[in-house]
Structure 1
């Protein structure tokens, strides 16, 4: 059986741009992607805190340290500059892989600069011994 887990998260990032004329995706500061364990063209889930819009698209890197969080194409209708969002990187894993995953939560300030990174051990969180 495969389980879908959160392997990385960018928490409360601020949308800096919304470009309807682009073909799609979310463009993210390369450093945020790295720290949240998101690879270029990896599918991510984005939630708009203001209006509860949930969107899935692929991530593209912007310049490291730029603070860029740009929704491109159709999601530009639902995510506007200034909106707070959560970006989740998901993985499908087997029970045997569970204890090897260390999700990262990247906290950012109002300019999308990293203020804290949490690293979690799923093994330590497991209490019931399930596999």
Structure 2
């Protein structure tokens, strides 16, 4: 049996452009893709913190160092420039893999530059 676990997350990235008349996908700065371990054409889930929209698409590479987060195609209806989003990728793992698994977490600043990375989500005090 396999279970779906969080593989990677880019937390609170800022949408820099939306392109309705594009084939589809989400273009992500190559620095962010590499830091998160998200591959080009990999399925991603996008959670729009600003609007509450949630949708699934795939990642494509944007030019390194540009800070680009471009929501494209039909998904462009679900985001606006300036929206904060969480971009997540999941992996199917068996029990043994799940025991060893550590997600890649990337925390960008307002310009989508990497501020820090982590392997676990900090526990919030109640």
Structure with higher Rg: it is 1
Q: How does 1:91-106 map to 2 (within 5 A)?
A: 91-106=91-106
Structure 2 counterpart SS, 1:75 = helix
Unaligned 5+ residue runs, structure 2?
121-126
TM-score (norm 1): 0.89
Aligned residues: 120
Q: CA RMSD in A?
A: 0.8
Q: Match for residue 90 of structure 1?
A: 90
TM-score (norm 2): 0.92
Structure 1 residue 19: Cα displacement? 0.1
Unaligned 5+ residue runs, structure 1?
121-131
Q: Which moved more, 1:96-105 or 1:79-88?
A: 96-105
Structure 1 counterpart SS, 2:33 = helix
Q: Is 1:20 aligned to residue 5 of structure 2?
A: no
Structure 2 counterpart SS, 1:99 = helix
Runs of 4 or more off by more than 4 Å in structure 1? Answer: none
